[in-house]
Amino acid sequence: MITTLLQAAPAGGGIMSFLPMIAIVVVFYFFMIRPQMKKQKEHKKYIEELGVNSKVVTTAGIHGRIVEVSETTFLIDVGSGVKMRFDKSAVALDASKAANKE
């Protein structure tokens, strides 16, 4: 009886059973991970290129002009002489480029 059960079991396995999982990982990498890494790299390059008098928009939606650049922060003039210090990662986009898109 036991020998008939063992003979009825499929003899497959190996790499073919892992092929769908490998395909899912490859698709996930090319459609999710790689584009996100590219976007992060472009944003980092953009932040490094910003300088004094650049008009920017922060992630909080505050529009202003960069007055001072330090190693990790920007001092941004938001109008009427009000200046606020923001971390470089808080700058979302260049306001002049955003105006040109519209």
Q: What is the C-alpha to C-alpha distance for residues 99 and 2, in angstroms, rounded to an integer?
A: 76
pLDDT of residue 28: 92
pLDDT of residue 90: 92
pLDDT of residue 93: 75
Residue 28 DSSP label: H
pLDDT under 70 in the chain at which residues? 1-13, 94-102
pLDDT of residue 5: 47
pLDDT of residue 4: 55
Q: What is the C-alpha to C-alpha distance for residues 34 and 32, in angstroms, rounded to an integer?
A: 6
